[in-house]
């Protein structure tokens, strides 16, 4: 007997809707999951919502359980926390994280879900995919004890990176953002804060996550000689100018890309995707990450919420979507 479910679909750029879905019973090696919460990855999902994925990146941008194709209709998303209702005894009743879109119930292979540690609340676990991105970024950046680091862009990814950096002894970490209200978030994460024009320079490392040309320019300005900007922003279909003139070459500056789609080369021989995600979930035992959950809406509201988020009417860091218990 099939199960009835509901899923959020992007019908066309800027237009979302909730559709009924028939979910087949799980076969051997599969689990049926009832969603408790999903999270909106603001930068990526609003870009998808407005139809901003370049054709050249359609394949690279596919989510693991995406249905449909860009620019739409498409079912997209990858921050999902739920309870296993049917499956092997070891997983039955467990809270799990899955890279699944916004849907009330779904069936996936057992190896597609990762158990959430008991000490991590389900509502916080929606951040697992973002913390995983931050873990990969730090593997790429390889910060050292005592480094001077700026994180430019206090969105979900930037904030997660800043919190992980704060645990490195002797490190000066400053979160940089144009919104002065992000100072409260920085305080909750245990790091410093500055607006761009007042940020501390002479940085060994700058992690850029603002997805703006101005943020990238300021990131380069904040570096010490031979310092590195780790670029985490993804600009979609926008062209971005990089100031490679003036003292860029004489100061031997570096701009390096990082992306979560592959395990960092520094750990690829010894860590799998599953290892990386499990680590991210363990790190979420830290209650400081609750500062990133700044709004919650019911699943039924998604067709109205995403347009507001894409238009900038909602300034939430992580917008959490709550699902009915039945």
Residue spans of the domains in the chain: they are: 3-124+284-322, 133-257
Mean pLDDT of 212-230: 97
Report the mean per-residue pLDDT for the chain.
Answer: 95
Strand order in the sheet with 67-68: 15-23, 3-12, 74-75, 67-68
CA 280 to chain CA mean position, Å: 11
**Does the pLDDT at position 40 exceed 80?**
yes
Mean pLDDT of 230-238: 86
How far apart CA 233 and CA 140 sit, in angstroms, is 14
Give the pLDDT confidence score for residue 147 in this predicted structure. Answer: 98
Give the pLDDT confidence score for residue 243 in this predicted structure. Answer: 87
- Count CA atoms within 13 Å of residue 147 on its CB side: 24
151-160, 193-202, 237-246, 269-278: least confidently modelled range? 237-246
How far apart CA 130 and CA 318 sit, in angstroms, is 10
DSSP letter string, 75-131: E----EEEEEEES-TTTTT-EEEE---SBSEEEEEGGGEEEPPTTS-TTTGGGHHHH
Q: Give 323's pLDDT tier (boundaries 50, 70, 90).
A: very high
What is the DSSP secondary structure assignment for residue 2, as one 8-state letter?
P
**Contact 199/150 with Cβ under 8 angstroms?**
yes
**Does the pLDDT at position 241 exceed 90?**
no
Give the pLDDT confidence score for residue 236 in this predicted structure. Answer: 76
Mean pLDDT of 2-25: 95
CATH 3.90.180.10 for the 3-124+284-322 domain, yes or no:
yes
CA distances from 274 to 95, 99, 189, 222, 256 (A): 16, 12, 26, 35, 25
Give the pLDDT confidence score for residue 324 in this predicted structure. Answer: 86
**Does the pLDDT at position 315 exceed 80?**
no
Share of the chain above pLDDT 90, in %: 86
Give 94: exposed, middle or buried? Use CB within 10 Å, 0-12, 13-18, 19+. middle
Question: How, if at all, do strands 80-86 and 172-176 pair?
Answer: unpaired
Superfamily of domain 133-257, CATH level 4:
NAD(P)-binding Rossmann-like Domain (3.40.50.720)
Using only C-alpha atoms, what is the Rg of the chain? 20
**Does the pLDDT at position 308 exceed 70?**
yes
Tokens of 218: 């300021």
What is the DSSP secondary structure assignment for residue 266, as one 8-state letter?
T
How far apart CA 134 and CA 149 sit, in angstroms, is 14
Q: Which residues of 192-224 are buried (b: 16+ CB within 10 A; e: fewer)?
A: bbbebeebeeebbbbbbbbbbbebbbbbbebbe
Give the pLDDT confidence score for residue 326 in this predicted structure. Answer: 54
The string of pLDDT tens digits covering residues 50-88 is: 998 989 989 988 999 999 999 999 999 999 999 999 999
**Does the pLDDT at position 238 exceed 90?**
no
81-95, 180-194, 214-228, 237-251: least confidently modelled range? 237-251
Beta bridge partners of 298: 322
Helices (H), the chain: 42-49, 128-141, 156-165, 182-189, 213-221, 273-283, 302-310
């Amino acid at each position: 007997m099939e199960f009835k479910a509901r899923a959020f679909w992007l019908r066309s750029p800027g237009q979302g809707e909730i559709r009924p879905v028939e979910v087949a019973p799980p076969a051997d090696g599969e689990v049926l999951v009832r969603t408790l919460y999903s999270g909106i990855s603001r930068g990526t999902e609003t870009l998808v919502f407005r139809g901003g994925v370049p054709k050249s990146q359609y394949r690279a941008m596919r989510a693991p359980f995406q249905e449909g194709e860009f620019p739409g209709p498409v079912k997209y998303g990858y921050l999902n926390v739920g309870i296993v209702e049917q499956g092997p005894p070891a997983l039955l009743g467990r809270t799990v994280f899955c890279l699944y879109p916004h849907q009330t119930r779904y069936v996936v292979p057992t190896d597609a879900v990762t158990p959430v540690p008991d000490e991590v609340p389900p509502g916080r676990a929606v951040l697992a995919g973002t913390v995983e991105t931050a873990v990969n970024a730090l593997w790429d950046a390889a910060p050292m004890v005592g480094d001077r680091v700026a994180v430019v862009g206090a969105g979900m990814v930037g904030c997660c990176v800043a919190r992980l950096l704060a645990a490195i002894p002797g490190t000066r970490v400053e979160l940089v953002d144009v919104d002065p209200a992000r100072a409260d978030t920085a305080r909750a994460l245990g790091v410093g804060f500055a607006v761009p024009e007042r940020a501390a320079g002479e940085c060994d490392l700058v992690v850029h996550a603002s997805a703006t040309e101005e943020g990238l320019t300021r990131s380069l300005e904040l570096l010490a000689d031979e310092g590195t900007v780790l670029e985490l922003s993804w600009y979609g279909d926008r062209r971005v100018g990089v100031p490679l003139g003036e003292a860029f070459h004489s100061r031997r500056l570096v701009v390096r890309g990082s992306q979560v789609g592959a395990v960092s080369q520094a750990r690829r021989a010894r860590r799998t995707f599953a290892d990386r995600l499990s680590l991210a979930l363990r790190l979420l035992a830290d209650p400081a990450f609750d500062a990133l959950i700044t709004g919650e809406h019911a699943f039924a509201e998604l067709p109205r919420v995403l347009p507001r988020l894409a238009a900038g009417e909602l300034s939430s860091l992580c917008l959490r979507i709550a699902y009915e218990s039945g």
